[in-house]
Structures are given as C-alpha cells and as structure tokens.
A and B are shown apart, each in its own frame.
Chain A
C-alpha cells in the first residue's frame, strides 16, 4: 500500500499568492486545495481533510485568527502555518497562541515555502503518531481490567481455593502452629484479592456496557439495598441512617450498580460521621429528575478538596487525611452516575457535615437513557 499523498490547503484572499504557491508546488508530490476566504477554507478542512494548512491572517470576512481557532477545534493534529503580510511579532505570537505552528512572512521564496511545507508535514506526522499512541494507551487502560482480572485473579483464586481446602482437611491433623500459619496465608491472600479488586474498580472498569442492561428502576430499590449494606457499619458506630424514597421516583438504569454508587456515598457518610451521628437519605422526583441526597453531620470536607473529590485516586491524593480513602469509591460512583446520564455534586461545611446529591434523569424524561435490548432471558431474580 502506497502512502497517501500529503494534503495541503492554502487559504488566502489574494489570488496572486495562491497562484504563485500553486506554481511552486507544480510537479510536487502533494494534493493541493485552495480557498479565497476563511469560510470556504473551513469547509475544505472538513471535506478535503488537509494535513497542513496555510492561512493568511488578513482577510475580509472571517479572519485568519478565527480560522486557526476553528481548525484547532475541529482537529488539533492539523498543522497550521500563517502567511503574514507584515511579520509583526505581536500578530505572530497571537497566531501561535491560537494554534499556528509557524509563520511565513510575505514575500517568501519558493525555497522558504518548500522548507516550511517539509517542517509542517514532519510536525503533522508527529502529532498523528502521538494521537494514535494516546488512543492505544487508552485502549490498554480499558483492557487492563480484563487482563488483570484473568491473569492475576485466577491464580490467586486458585491458591486461595486450595488453602481453604487444606485448612479444612488439616484441621486436627496439623499442629496449632501450622494451622495458624495456613490461616495467615489465607488472610493475606484475601487482603491481596480485595486490593486487586478495589484497584481494578477504581482503575479501569468500563461502565459503558452497562447500558445494555438498563431497565426502569424504582430508585427506592437501590436506596434500600445500599442502606441495608451500610447498616452494619452504622450500627457499630451508633450512627442512625434515615432513608426516605418516593416510590414513584423511577429512573432507567442498572439497579445493581446504582446500589453500588449509593452505597459508596452512604458508606462514606457513615464513615465520616461521629459516633451517634445521623445520616439522612432522601430520594424524590423533582420535575424531570430523580434526586437522591445524602446528608451527614460528620467532619465535613475542606472547600479546597471539593473540586477533586470525584477524581480517581491515581490523579493525586487529596492531601488531608479527612478525605483519604474516599478517592476510589467516589470516582467509581461518579462514573456510574455519569453512565446513567446523571450528575453528582457535593457541598460541605467543614466540621458540620456534607451533602452529596445525585441527580438522575427520571424515567420518561427526555434525558432518560434508553432501555437496553431485551436479553431474551428469564427475568432476573432479585438479590436478597
């Protein structure tokens, strides 16, 4: 397969410039298109798909600067060079800020032009390569979950399974010390498996496939499940959870992951509550939305940490210990909420408590995600 010819686009209102450029390029190994103005030029950016664009800064109608910005918004890997009638430093600087790679003062010699094309196309190759590397890295990250889950979890699981059996078989046969060591091995392995799982969840679980299982879900169901699962820890800390859910509030989604998202938030509220504190959970339908809010009377979150609260842990540890450990759960929560077309926000008064609000499109509203295709299976039995 031969390499496609590099594509050049020249945008200039002066016909003589376009003509002389075409003359220079005659017989060269490029596909060339020209446009007499910004609007026509942008149209060609879309249809012709240039690798390198030369733009005149001073044109009637759409200015060169606007063209630069529009091209950058369309595809930042397209390389732009500006023609400048009078090469002032300030206009050149401004053009570079708006995405131009270089500038070519008029008048220029054929050699100037050719060497600018060479440099521009070299840069374009680098940009395209970098973009494809980035895509590859993203794909790797997405696949990471699958790779790690099989390659790492399988052997760990197999070892643990056999330890379970050994512990049972050797009960009464092994010495107390041997038994204790086996138990330690099993405990450490459980910790390791739990770590891998937590890490995996936070790192690269792809929630986009969730949409295949979307069904109408009364929000009261995941709320009840989440509260039930947060209850043991709440009981230990003498924290009261009060939950109220409007039975008419229905969203389109996946009940299991919604419960998981809610459990993360409610669990945090319990975790950061003082002994004897209260956590209030309410789920109501408000216009086109189903709004779940979780309010605690706990230690609160410093204002500076709020914007980063939902970032995945690897993007930087929140410095204060008061939010330490919340990173993974909330990042996962946000991804689940967003997969449902919703938004999660947090407000807090340090020392007095926090409120987390999850707003999901109500079933039947315009913003509600579509239901997944019918799997053609027997209906799922519900857990517990």
Chain B
C-alpha cells in the first residue's frame, strides 16, 4: 500500500476550498493556503505531488504570477499544476471538461469552478500518475 499522495490547494476563497478539499480528502493528504505567498512557502518546504491553484486571487491574477514563479524554479517546475478558476478562459468556455493546457507552467491543466467531484479526482489522479511516470523514465 503506497503512501497517500499530497495535494496543495492555493485559493483565497475558504468556502470554495472546503468544497474541493472535502473531495480531495477522500484520496489525498491535502494542505491548504489562502494566498500565493503562503502557498509558495509551502511549496518550498516540498513534498507535494500536485498543486491546485486558483488564478484570481488578491488584487488580480496573482495565481498567474505564482505559476510563473513556479515555472522558473528548477525543482518545482516539474510539479503538475491543476488550475482551478472561475476566470472564463475562452477555450474552457468552448470545450468544458476537456484537457486544456493554459501553458502557465510546463505541466498544467485547467478546470472551471465549480468543478464536478469525479472530474476533479480523475484529473488529479491522471496528472499525478503522469508526473510519476515522467520521473521513472528519467
């Protein structure tokens, strides 16, 4: 029995966080921060297998800035990032639920708020498994 994977949620809306945390809690160890700064500190401590990142935080798209920072970090850039946002991306509007890669970080996907629980679990599992496979191949 392998250890439970660890998911970090960074989102400034506590009610929304409760909603996705309850879903992810069924299969993962979850950690939550409510702003990008704490989120960054948590990431730096390490040990996460997936980051669930909100885009519109604080005074604008602070989530994007955090993603850019991750992109520049030689270690963290390997981590899959699931963007969870109510920002209505054009492509997400057209193809709800399909794989959409915003390209903020090397590995990311996007789901829209509110997110269907099964879709969330499926995305999380796929992204974590893909990251493991990449590591194993190296």
Contact = CB atoms under 8 A, between A and B. Distances in A.
Contact of B15 (A153, A162, A200, A256): A162
A150 B95 CA distance: 21
Contact of B95 (A375, A379, A381, A384): A384
A270 B67 CA distance: 40
Given A257-B90, A383-B95, A161 B103 contact: no
Interface string A24-48: 0000000000000000000000000
Given A381-B99, A383-B99, A162 B90 contact: no
B18 A162 contact: yes
Interface stretch (A92-100, A108-116, A164-172, A304-312): A164-172
B103 A380 contact: yes
B88 A383 contact: no
A240 interface: no
A378 B95 contact: no
Interface in A38-69: none
Nearest to B112: A157
Contact of A164 (B13, B19, B93, B99): B19
A165 B99 contact: no
Interface of A is mostly: helix
Interface of A: 149-150, 153-155, 157-162, 164-165, 168-169, 193, 197, 200-201, 225, 229, 254, 256-257, 259-260, 263, 375, 377-381, 383-384
B94 A256 contact: yes
B16 A154 contact: yes
B117 interface: yes
B86 A260 contact: no
A168 B88 contact: no
26 contacts: A149-B87, A149-B88, A150-B86, A155-B15, A157-B86, A158-B15, A158-B16, A160-B114, A165-B22, A165-B117, A168-B23, A168-B117, A169-B22, A197-B88, A256-B89, A256-B90, A260-B90, A260-B93, A260-B94, A375-B103, A377-B103, A378-B103, A380-B102, A383-B94, A384-B95, A384-B98
B23 A378 contact: no
For B13, B86, B106, the residue with the greatest tally of chain A CB atoms inside 10 Å of its CB is B86
For A157, A161, A379, A381, the residue with the greatest tally of chain B CB atoms inside 10 Å of its CB is A161
A193 B87 CA distance: 13
A157 B91 CA distance: 19
Contacts of A153: 86, 113
A380 B90 contact: no
Contacts, number: 94
Nearest to B115: A161
B42 interface: no
B101 interface: yes
A115 to B, nearest CB: 52
Given A154-B86, A225-B94, A378-B106, A161 B100 contact: no
Contacts of B79: none
B76 interface: no
B27 interface: no
Interface in B94-136: 94-95, 98-104, 106, 113-117
B91 to A, nearest CB: 4
B104 to A, nearest CB: 7
Given A158-B13, A161-B19, A150 B56 contact: yes
